[in-house]
């Protein structure tokens, strides 16, 4: 089990290289390789998930290899950079999420007929990047994989997207590119401030594994975060840097406009990947670095987080009402949901942290499912415009039914994964910000409004005469739908399967932030 | 004589050279102006060499080197100018505008 | 400073200037051979130059790490710093000559370039070792004059001569400015030797500070023109566009590297005492250079001009360590600053030359240097497209490439010096740069080839150049450790 | 048998899953058999449960750990108490009958099996809601019944009205659900638990568990409010949930529209069970409401207002199902009124009797609709001849609803009115009495318009099969006699529901008030008779009432009001915000991009090809560098 994370990250890349080696016309082989290349890591991820020791709060399945050192990187300290992987209760579920989403995306992308080879290569590359981001145990490793998602996402949007794909891809690139450089600045600053603090505190506090103080290892930083407190002023500055990065990365209002455009222009597979897994990175960063390592900064800006969260919640929900395109609607809906996570993180409650992970996983699954069904509809009707659809339940009962499940899950219906996420987040929110949370709870009504209204206009009512004759879901489409629905129900009915993994880590974080 | 007049002369020469190089339309005059700038530096060097508290020869040697270099520079400049003239049939600085933007 | 005085003798010259002797002597020799050879045999001439470069490089490497040698009344110093610069210069020259060989098959460049490149590189090498104003200036002019000719080399293309003239005018004015500034330095210090100048200036700052600052400003401005720091950069795109592509690569890499070495010697050695006063000036120059360079490239359609602006931006990154040194806490910081600059310079050289190599091929087949010429390159030649991607990602500063790691090191330097804002600008501007680098990426991978859909056949030599550059770029990004170790153990003189 | 209680909700779930995976291939008979058996066995178990509870009193909860966060472990499980044993019985009984009835009613529908799936899912959720052991679990099932209602109202999704009504039902009840949601959270934050018993134990002081929830949490609540305020706010929020689910004013608007669903659905969900869940919730949380006078008062007022308000609308509607729907709203108001004035037993009693007679009325209406394919009262008439069983049972239901002794409704409604009177809520008592009068008028208006006079339609009406008539007969029987389980002479139900001493206020018999309500009912029937019997239309009367008639007919314009003050603004704001998003927020982004690009363009064009310009700019640069250098040097 030691190298399982390495395998998880590397296999998609190897599969990608195999894809490149195939002749461009052998679509079947390429698709098979793509599927296998995503399925095997997903199975490994599942194995790791099952073997995960929930009582241990350190990073598990550690894999580390020394890479290089920079002398005098900080005063006379040498910076040793390791490449490594490791997961804890926050990243393990997200690794699993990547496994699920990527595998199903591969299946869905069987439908892609244009430039199949490149498509699968970049999908696999993106898969590798997302695994790496969540599994990384070093700042450098993390950043490398973050940037690789940028390249892959850019090309996926740009080649297989809709009419304005170049514009959307550029927006995606610039926003996420800016976010990543801001993030890098924050990460390096974090390591430096920890180094200087650790050095200063080394006389009074014993810090294990820190002969050199300067470290880029996430697990070491997490350990140090429990032992020493970096100066409040530095925490504030660094927290703001991270916050800015996260706002752009996670498309919070007012840095959100790239997300609807991206989703509107991407093809279904890409949307599943972006909406299902890529869009969890920002808040993961928030939890992993800003919350875990900058507790005083968090305490200082907690109210700001809550307010920003609230703005995104309401803004996203209201604009979603007026959205004319399903994909934009889903994008705004996810902005709204992620705002809730921000609000809950601001509450600094353990349950809020736990709910955050729940929401990341849940919204990942539901967003992927929504994009899948919406895409399946569009494959048949040729349009994503809500006003052009109608009465689809008649001709596409299965797809419409699954879509309804996804919509209800997003609305937060109990029994599906969305409920327990929303509930935990709101408990956290109300504990700290009753008024803001009360306002935020309006989004529960608004969500029901925009999703069910859109459902009513597309799947209910008399069939739109302009639509062509349609055949309901085929076997290939059943697989992702069934798996996603099953997972959504599983998480809704037995949230313990996720909660047990998250619990220990959430507790540790909460202890650190005094929640 | 004092040092200052030489420095002033050099400065004026440098200024004039710079002015010429940036305003004259004829490329040959531009090249000559650049020579003036180089010679301004040479005057400085020679003057300094003479007026230093402990006068030494290095400045003069330096100036000699510079004169040779300047000659090479002008030679090359004229050669390129010829090549330019052959293709464009002009020696106006302002006609050097086929590449812009 | 372990100054050992020696009388000038040939063995001393060989021990100190051996590589330079080989390069410059070889240049003379090749010049003669070219004259003597019949026309149809002349194609071996560039290969002679290649061999010459290789011999010189091996000589440097074999002597590398041998400690500091100071010769000829302390006018010439051979230390790790200069050796590294020389290796960089020769390595790049090697690639440029090979690229020129490739380019020549199409454009029929005259064979003069083989020895002209050697002369220029010889000058560049002298700059890195010389610590006497005369030597420095002679080296600088040797480099400059040879490159004026190189730019104008393509006699069939009017733009080449025009570029040469432009470069000559601007370069000469810059040289004159530098010289004028140097003359004041001499006047104040009474010596042309940098060591003695440094000693003399210790007292002179109080009595002659005005004249010294004028001198400083003039020298800095002249240097700024040569390495195209904003606002002295405007000539760059024009000259880059006019010059034959290999020469463009040469200008972008070697000229800048050599002048950076010049800058390091003069500014840190002679004016180092007042560093904490003037570092901010460099910092601001660095910032506006990064900003203007990267924004200027945004709207460029011509890839050569685009890369020109990009190289302006890169210069902004390169001079940032100079600024950071002014705020460094201790000596180790300064070393780190220098090694980070050196590291980035190597990465910059490899990725820039590689990018120009691909560009030269694409421009040849398409007859156009526009971004559109890259459309569908992935379909027409996947190998070139992938290599170009490596170079572009490295230029843009994405991880696992030399470009990223170099930027990362520079960033660390800025952080270390407490100048976070410099680091932030560095990365913010490189995010802007994503736009145009990815624009080329988009053309290669996303767009369909326009018109001609025939595969591009890249010759073996081109593939070697591109492959080696890509390999180097990846090596610096993936396994930077060994090279960093070398950098850490180098004995710095300046 | 008490150990088998969990089977009661699980059986319909199993039936749901079976039908989900195999339903498409099954015959209608098989589907019905499975479904009916599932609830029928549940009914049998419920009977034994009730008998055990009657002897034993409430049982301890049976729970399993579900999810741990912070110091809290949420459990899932069930608990048998006297209250929910009664509910089990009512729900399974009505479900069995409705399931049976649906066989004929839905015969031939393309999605017959889907219909039973949804019904089974609903019954599972409803039963789960009833026997849950903690508040969070209750909320979960609360939402599930809501979504089943959504699915069933929108069952005929291809009818635009049904699609709209389903959405409306979900969203309006969602408003209430959010209130309950926040209430649950507030109660948890105050007590550190979701368990009913723990919550009730902490109504007078914050829990010490609370401190484990984190400093901010405790501070927020204890700083914001006293225990009393907290209890009141929580109770009100819980009540908001009940208002939404039980269609109380002002969230009543969804229920009449929900009549777009198939009639058995209306009978089961929108009359007997789900809409009563709100009342059940208040009953389940009774100690919470008892702890806050303000909250109780609110409940009473809302209940009383709803009772009269809905009844006044019912007077003029033309759609048979809508009349009954408004009647349901009104009757639920009575129950809330009961809860508000503390008459716990009376409220539950009325809930039970109402479940029977209202289900009966709906099913009878369904039978009529099934027979003649119209819901418009003015197109009916004279059906007594053709549908004798339906007529007889409908009459029993109508009498029960009107509160005519000795029918079931009389006993329970009278209990409530007495309790209101006794507790000094004279205005509310008056409301209740007037509502009772209206009730008798509108239901007999329906009765006369439907069954008296001559038949006007063209289709030949006839009774449905035994599957339709049998439930009617059973319910008719119950509507007639169910009242006797809690007469002042023998308060069986009262004793059953209060095993550990009195809960709330159980009014003693007041013969005077009984007489008044009986007379009110009779008066109402007389008015209806004089206006509507034998095909009369009472158009003239309606004209004479003028504005009042219009108000009633247009449901007091509440829908229009909501459309104007809520829906329209929200949609307008959404459109506006989308405009802002697209052109101002994104516009700013694009502007920034354009400015950057324009900067690039201007930089590009700054290289004009003139070397002397470049030189000039460089000279300026040199000048600046020199000046700065000299400034730094302190020379200038």
Spell out which residues of chain A touch residue C330, defining contact as CB-CB under 8 Å: 75-76
Percent of chain D residues past pLDDT 70, beyond the cut:
96
**For chain A, how big is the Rg over CA atoms in Å?**
22
Select from C134, C177, C184 the Cβ nearest to the Cβ of B65.
C134
Residue A355 CB contacts under 8 Å (≥ 6 apart), including other chains: A341, A344, A420, A421, A422, A423, A424, A425, A426, A427, A428, D69
Give chain A's mean pLDDT.
Answer: 90
How many contacts does A have with D, using Cβ atoms within 8 A?
Answer: 165
Q: Phi and psi (nearest 5°) for C220?
A: -60, -45
What is the C-alpha separation between A187 and A196, in angstroms, rounded? 14
Domain range summary for chain B, segments of one domain joined by +: 26-90
**For chain D, how big is the Rg over CA atoms in Å?**
31
How many separate domains does chain C show?
1
Q: Which chain A residue has the Cα nearest residue C390?
A: A151
Residue C77: band (very low, low, confident or very high) from pLDDT cuts 50, 70, 90: confident
Q: Per the CB < 8 Å rule, is C446 touching A74? A: no
- Residue A73: the pLDDT is 77
What is the C-alpha separation between A297 and C217, in angstroms, rounded? 44
Q: Per the CB < 8 Å rule, is C214 touching D606? A: no
Say yes or no to pLDDT of C280 above 60: yes
Q: Does a structural domain hold residue C431?
A: yes
Percent of chain C residues past pLDDT 70, beyond the cut:
96
Q: Does a structural domain hold residue C476?
A: yes
Largest CA distance in chain A: 79
Q: Does C153 touch chain D (CB under 8 A)?
A: no
Q: Which chain A residue has the Cα nearest residue D186?
A: A430
Average pLDDT of the segment spanning D464-487: 88
Select from D65, D139, D163 the Cβ nearest to the Cβ of A456.
D163
Q: What's the pLDDT tens digit per position in D92-103?
A: 999 999 999 988
Asked if residue C387 lies in contact with residue C467, where contact means CB atoms within 8 angstroms, the answer is: yes
**For chain C, how big is the Rg over CA atoms in Å?**
22
What is the C-alpha separation between C141 and B70, in angstroms, rounded? 9
- Residue C149: the pLDDT is 94
Query: What three-state secondary structure class fits C130?
Result: strand
- The answer to whether chain A touches chain C by having 3 or more C-beta pairs less than 8 angstroms apart is yes
- Residue C451: the pLDDT is 73
Gap between the terminal Cα atoms of chain B? 52
Q: Does a structural domain hold residue C29?
A: no
Q: Taking Cα atoms as reference points, which of B72, C170, C278 lies closest to residue D611?
A: C170
Structure tokens belonging to residue C231: 């606002």
Average pLDDT of the segment spanning A440-457: 92
Residue C67: band (very low, low, confident or very high) from pLDDT cuts 50, 70, 90: low
- The answer to whether chain B touches chain A by having 3 or more C-beta pairs less than 8 angstroms apart is no
DSSP D157-213: TTSHHHHHHHHHHHHHHHHHHHHHHHHHHHHHHHHS--BHHHHHHTTTS--THHHHT
Select from C172, C177, C186 the Cβ nearest to the Cβ of B62.
C186
- Picking from C130, C162, C176 by the largest number of B CB atoms within 10 A of its own CB, the best residue to mutate is C176
Neighbour subunits, B (≥3 Cβ pairs < 8 A): C, D
Q: Which chain D residue has the Cα nearest residue A328?
A: D578
Spell out which residues of chain C touch residue D592, defining contact as CB-CB under 8 Å: none
Q: What's the pLDDT tens digit per position in D76-92?
A: 889 888 888 899 999 99
Q: Does a structural domain hold residue C303?
A: yes
Task: Report the gap between the CA of A324 and the closest CA in chain C (Å).
Answer: 28
- Residue C456: the pLDDT is 83
Q: Does a structural domain hold residue C411?
A: yes
Question: Does an H or E element contain A71, and which?
Answer: strand A60-74
Structure tokens belonging to residue D96: 């069995």
Spell out which residues of chain C touch residue D599, defining contact as CB-CB under 8 Å: 295, 298
Q: Taking Cα atoms as reference points, which of D597, D623, D602, D625 lies closest to residue C284?
A: D625
Cα angle, residue C356 at apex, residues B76 and C239 outer, rounded to 5°: 35
Residue D212: band (very low, low, confident or very high) from pLDDT cuts 50, 70, 90: very low
Select from B34, B38, B96 the Cβ nearest to the Cβ of C166.
B96
- SS3 string, C444-463, reads HHCCCCCCCCCCCCCCHHHH
Give chain C's mean pLDDT.
Answer: 88
Q: Does a structural domain hold residue C490?
A: yes
Q: Does C231 touch chain D (CB under 8 A)?
A: yes
Average pLDDT of the segment spanning C119-136: 92
Q: What's the pLDDT tens digit per position in D34-53?
A: 999 999 999 999 999 998 88
Structure tokens belonging to residue A205: 């506090």
Q: What's the pLDDT tens digit per position in C236-266?
A: 999 999 999 999 999 999 999 999 999 988 8
Residue D125: band (very low, low, confident or very high) from pLDDT cuts 50, 70, 90: very high
Q: Does C190 touch chain D (CB under 8 A)?
A: no
Domain that holds residue C362: 280-494
Q: Taking Cα atoms as reference points, which of D10, D2, D11 lies closest to residue D36?
A: D11
Spell out which residues of chain A touch residue D593, defining contact as CB-CB under 8 Å: 174
Q: What's the pLDDT tens digit per position in A228-269?
A: 888 999 999 999 999 999 999 999 988 999 999 999 999 999
Spell out which residues of chain B touch residue D626, defining contact as CB-CB under 8 Å: none
Asked if residue A472 lies in contact with residue A399, where contact means CB atoms within 8 angstroms, the answer is: yes
- Residue C2: the pLDDT is 39
- Residue C4: the pLDDT is 46
Q: Does a structural domain hold residue C315?
A: yes
Question: Does an H or E element contain A80, and which?
Answer: strand A77-87
Residue D223 CB contacts under 8 Å (≥ 6 apart), including other chains: none
Q: Does a structural domain hold residue C372?
A: yes
DSSP D590-610: HHHHHHHHHHHHHHHHH--S-
Q: Which chain A residue has the Cα nearest residue C447?
A: A159
Spell out which residues of chain C touch residue A69, defining contact as CB-CB under 8 Å: 481, 484
How many contacts does A have with C, using Cβ atoms within 8 A?
Answer: 95
Residue C17: band (very low, low, confident or very high) from pLDDT cuts 50, 70, 90: confident
Residue D220: band (very low, low, confident or very high) from pLDDT cuts 50, 70, 90: low
Highest mean pLDDT among A462-476, D152-166, D376-390, D502-516 belongs to D152-166
- Residue A425: the pLDDT is 92
Q: What's the pLDDT tens digit per position in A428-447?
A: 888 888 889 999 999 999 99
ipTM value, please give it.
0.90
Q: What's the pLDDT tens digit per position in A9-25?
A: 999 999 999 999 999 88
Q: What's the pLDDT tens digit per position in A155-171?
A: 999 999 888 999 999 99
Q: Does B53 touch chain C (CB under 8 A)?
A: yes
Spell out which residues of chain A touch residue D174, defining contact as CB-CB under 8 Å: 411, 444-445, 448
């Amino acid at each position: 089990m030691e190298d399982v994370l390495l395998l998880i990250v590397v296999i998609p890349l190897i599969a990608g290289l195999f894809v490149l080696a195939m002749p461009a016309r052998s679509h079947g082989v390429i698709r098979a390789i793509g599927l296998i290349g995503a399925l095997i890591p997903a199975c490994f991820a599942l194995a790791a998930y099952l073997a995960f020791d929930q009582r241990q709060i350190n990073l598990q399945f550690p894999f580390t290899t020394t890479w290089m050192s920079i002398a005098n990187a900080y005063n006379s300290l040498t910076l040793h950079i390791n490449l490594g992987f490791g997961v804890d209760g926050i990243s393990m579920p997200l690794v699993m999420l990547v496994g699920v989403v990527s595998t199903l995306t591969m299946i869905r992308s069987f439908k892609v007929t244009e430039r199949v080879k490149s498509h699968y290569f970049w999908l696999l590359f993106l898969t590798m990047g997302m695994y790496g981001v969540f599994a990384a145990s070093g700042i450098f490793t993390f950043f490398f994989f973050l940037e690789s998602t940028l390249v892959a996402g850019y090309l996926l949007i740009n080649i297989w997207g809709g009419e304005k794909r170049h514009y959307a891809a550029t927006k995606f690139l610039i926003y996420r590119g800016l976010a990543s450089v801001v993030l890098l600045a924050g990460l390096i600053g974090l390591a430096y401030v920890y180094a200087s603090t650790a050095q200063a505190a080394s006389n009074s506090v014993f810090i294990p594994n820190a002969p050199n103080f300067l470290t880029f290892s996430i697990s070491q930083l997490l350990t140090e975060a429990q032992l020493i407190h970096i100066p409040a002023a530095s925490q504030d500055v660094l927290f703001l840097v991270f916050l800015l990065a996260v706002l752009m990365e996670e498309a919070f209002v007012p840095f959100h406009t790239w997300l609807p455009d991206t989703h509107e222009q991407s093809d279904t597979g890409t949307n599943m990947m972006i909406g299902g897994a890529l869009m969890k990175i920002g808040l993961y960063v928030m939890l992993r670095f800003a919350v875990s390592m900058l507790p005083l900064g968090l305490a200082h800006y907690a109210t700001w987080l809550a307010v920003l969260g609230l703005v995104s919640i309401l803004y996203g929900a209201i604009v979603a009402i007026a959205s004319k395109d399903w994909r934009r609607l889903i994008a705004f809906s996810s902005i709204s949901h992620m705002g809730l996570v921000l609000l809950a993180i601001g509450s600094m409650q353990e349950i809020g942290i736990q709910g955050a992970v729940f929401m990341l996983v849940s919204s990942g699954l539901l967003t992927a499912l929504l994009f899948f069904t919406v895409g399946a509809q569009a494959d048949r009707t040729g349009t994503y415009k809500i006003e052009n659809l109608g009465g689809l339940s008649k001709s596409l009962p299965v797809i419409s039914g699954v879509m309804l499940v996804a919509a209800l899950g997003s609305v937060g219906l109990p029994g599906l994964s969305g409920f327990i996420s929303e509930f935990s987040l709101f408990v956290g929110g109300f504990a700290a910000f009753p008024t803001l949370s009360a306002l935020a709870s309006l989004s529960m009504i608004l969500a029901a409004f925009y999703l069910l209204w859109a459902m009513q206009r597309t799947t209910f009512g008399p069939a739109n005469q302009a639509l062509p004759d349609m055949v309901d879901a085929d076997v290939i489409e059943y697989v992702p739908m069934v798996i996603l629905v099953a997972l959504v129900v599983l998480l809704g009915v037995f949230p313990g399967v996720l909660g047990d993994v998250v619990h220990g880590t959430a507790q540790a974080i909460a202890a650190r932030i005094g929640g | 004589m004092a040092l200052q007049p030489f420095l002033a002369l050099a400065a004026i020469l440098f200024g004039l050279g710079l002015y010429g190089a940036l305003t004259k339309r004829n490329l040959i005059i531009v090249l000559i102006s650049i020579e003036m700038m180089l010679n301004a530096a040479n005057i400085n060097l020679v003057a300094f060499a003479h007026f230093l508290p402990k006068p030494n020869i290095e400045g003069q040697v330096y100036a000699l080197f510079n004169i040779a270099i300047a000659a090479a520079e002008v030679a090359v400049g004229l050669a390129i100018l010829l090549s330019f003239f052959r293709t464009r049939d002009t020696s106006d600085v302002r006609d050097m505008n086929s590449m812009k933007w | 400073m372990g100054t050992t005085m020696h009388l000038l003798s040939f063995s001393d010259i060989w021990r100190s200037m051996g590589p330079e002797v080989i390069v410059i002597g070889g240049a003379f020799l090749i010049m003669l051979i070219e004259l003597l050879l019949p026309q149809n045999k002349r194609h071996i001439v560039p290969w002679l130059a290649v061999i010459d470069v290789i011999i010189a490089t091996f000589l440097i490497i074999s002597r590398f790490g041998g400690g500091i040698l100071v010769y000829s009344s302390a006018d010439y110093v051979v230390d790790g710093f200069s050796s590294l610069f020389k290796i960089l210069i020769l390595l790049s020259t090697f690639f440029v000559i090979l690229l020129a060989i490739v380019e020549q098959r199409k454009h029929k460049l005259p064979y003069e370039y083989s020895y002209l490149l050697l002369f220029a590189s010889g000058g560049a090498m002298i700059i890195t070792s010389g610590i006497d104003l005369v030597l420095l200036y002679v080296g600088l002019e040797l480099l400059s004059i040879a490159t004026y000719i190189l730019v104008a080399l393509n006699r069939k293309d009017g733009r080449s001569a025009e570029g040469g003239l432009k470069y000559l005018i601007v370069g000469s004015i810059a040289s004159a400015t530098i010289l004028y500034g140097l003359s004041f330095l001499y006047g104040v210090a009474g010596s042309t030797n940098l060591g003695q100048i440094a000693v003399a200036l210790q007292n002179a700052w109080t009595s002659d500070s005005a004249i010294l600052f004028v001198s400083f400003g003039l020298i800095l401005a002249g240097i700024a023109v040569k390495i195209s720091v904003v606002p002295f950069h405007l000539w760059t795109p024009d000259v880059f566009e006019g010059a034959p592509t290999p020469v463009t690569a040469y200008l972008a890499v070697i000229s800048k590297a050599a002048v950076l070495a010049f800058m390091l010697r003069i500014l840190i050695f002679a004016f180092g005492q007042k560093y904490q006063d003037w570092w901010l000036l460099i910092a601001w120059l660095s910032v506006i250079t990064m900003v203007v360079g990267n924004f200027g490239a945004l709207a460029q359609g011509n890839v050569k001009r685009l890369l020109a602006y990009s190289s302006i931006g890169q210069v902004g990154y390169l001079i940032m360590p100079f600024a950071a040194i002014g705020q460094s806490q201790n000596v180790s910081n300064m070393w780190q600053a220098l090694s980070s600059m050196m590291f980035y310079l190597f990465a910059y050289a490899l990725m820039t030359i590689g990018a120009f190599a691909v560009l030269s091929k694409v421009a040849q087949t398409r007859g156009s240097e526009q971004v559109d010429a890259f459309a569908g390159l992935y379909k027409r030649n996947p190998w070139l497209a992938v290599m170009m991607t490596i170079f572009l990602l490295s230029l843009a500063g994405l991880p696992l490439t030399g470009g990223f790691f170099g930027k990362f090191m520079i960033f660390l330097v800025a952080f270390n010096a407490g100048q976070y804002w410099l680091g932030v600008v560095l990365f913010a501007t490189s995010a802007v740069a994503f736009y145009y680098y990815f624009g080329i990426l988009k053309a290669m991978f996303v767009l369909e080839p326009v018109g001609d859909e025939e595969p591009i056949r890249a010759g073996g030599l081109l593939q070697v150049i591109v492959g080696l550059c890509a390999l180097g770029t990846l090596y610096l990004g993936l396994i930077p450790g060994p090279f960093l170790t070398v950098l850490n153990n180098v004995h710095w003189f300046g | 048998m008490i150990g088998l209680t969990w089977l009661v909700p699980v059986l319909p779930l199993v039936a749901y899953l079976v039908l989900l995976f195999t339903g498409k291939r099954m015959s209608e008979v098989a589907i019905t058999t499975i479904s009916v058996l599932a609830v029928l066995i549940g009914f049998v178990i419920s009977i034994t449960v009730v008998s055990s509870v009657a002897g034993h009193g409430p049982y301890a909860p049976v729970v399993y750990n579900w999810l741990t966060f912070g110091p809290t472990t949420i459990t899932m499980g069930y608990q048998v108490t006297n209250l929910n044993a009664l509910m089990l019985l009512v729900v399974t009984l009505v479900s069995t009958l409705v399931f049976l009835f649906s066989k004929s009613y839905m015969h031939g529908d393309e999605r017959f099996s889907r219909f039973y799936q949804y019904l089974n899912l609903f019954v599972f959720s409803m039963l789960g809601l009833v026997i849950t052991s903690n508040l969070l679990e209750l909320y979960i099932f609360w939402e599930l019944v809501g979504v089943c209602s959504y699915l069933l109202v929108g069952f005929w999704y291809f009818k635009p009205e049904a699609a709209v009504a389903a959405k409306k039902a979900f969203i309006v009840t969602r408003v209430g659900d959010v209130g309950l949601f926040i209430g649950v959270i507030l109660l948890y934050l105050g007590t550190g638990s979701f368990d009913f018993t723990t919550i009730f134990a902490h109504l007078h002081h914050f829990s010490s568990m609370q401190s484990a929830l984190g400093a901010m949490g405790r501070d927020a609540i204890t700083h914001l409010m006293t225990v009393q305020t907290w209890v009141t706010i929580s109770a009100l929020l819980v009540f908001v949930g009940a208002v939404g689910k039980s269609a109380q004013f002002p969230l009543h608007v969804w229920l009449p529209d929900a009549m777009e669903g198939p009639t058995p659905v209306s009978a089961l969900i929108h009359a007997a069970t789900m809409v009563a869940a709100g009342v059940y919730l208040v009953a389940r949380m009774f100690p919470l409401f008892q702890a806050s006078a303000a909250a109780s008062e609110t409940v009473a007022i809302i209940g009383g207002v709803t009772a009269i308000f809905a009844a006044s609308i019912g007077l003029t509607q033309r759609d048979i199902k809508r009349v009954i729907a408004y009647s349901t709203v009104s009757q639920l108001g009575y129950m809330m009124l009961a809860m508000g004035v503390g008459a716990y037993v009376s409220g539950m009693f009325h809930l039970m009797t109402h479940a029977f007679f209202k289900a009966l009325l709906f099913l009878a209406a369904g039978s009529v609709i099934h027979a003649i394919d119209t819901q418009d009262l003015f197109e009916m008439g004279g059906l007594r001849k053709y549908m004798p069983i339906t007529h007889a049972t409908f009459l029993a239901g109508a009498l029960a609803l009107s509160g005519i002794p000795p029918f079931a409704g009389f006993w329970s409604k009278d209990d409530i009115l007495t309790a209101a009177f006794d507790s000094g809520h004279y205005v509310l008592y008056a409301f209740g009495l007037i509502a009772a009068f209206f009730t008798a008028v509108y239901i007999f208006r329906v009765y006369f318009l439907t069954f008296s006079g001559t038949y006007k339609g063209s289709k030949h009406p006839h009774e449905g099969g035994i599957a339709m008539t049998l439930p009617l007969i059973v319910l008719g029987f119950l509507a007639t006699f169910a009242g006797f389980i809690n007469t002042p002479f023998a308060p069986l139900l009262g004793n059953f529901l209060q095993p550990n001493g009195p809960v709330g206020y159980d009014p003693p018999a007041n013969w005077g008030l009984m007489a008044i309500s009986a007379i009110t009912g009779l008066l109402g029937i007389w008015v209806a008779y004089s206006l509507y019997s034998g095909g009369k239309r009472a158009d003239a009367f309606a004209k004479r009432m003028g504005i009042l008639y219009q108000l009633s007919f247009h449901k007091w314009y509440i829908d229009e009001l909501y459309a104007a003050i809520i829906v329209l603004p929200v949609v307008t704001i959404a459109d506006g915000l989308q405009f802002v998003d697209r052109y101002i927020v994104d516009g700013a982004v694009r502007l920034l991009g354009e400015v950057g690009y324009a900067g690039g363009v201007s930089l590009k064009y700054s290289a004009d090809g003139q070397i002397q310009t470049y030189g000039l700019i460089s000279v300026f640069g040199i000048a600046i560098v020199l000046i700065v250098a000299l400034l730094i040097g302190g020379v200038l």
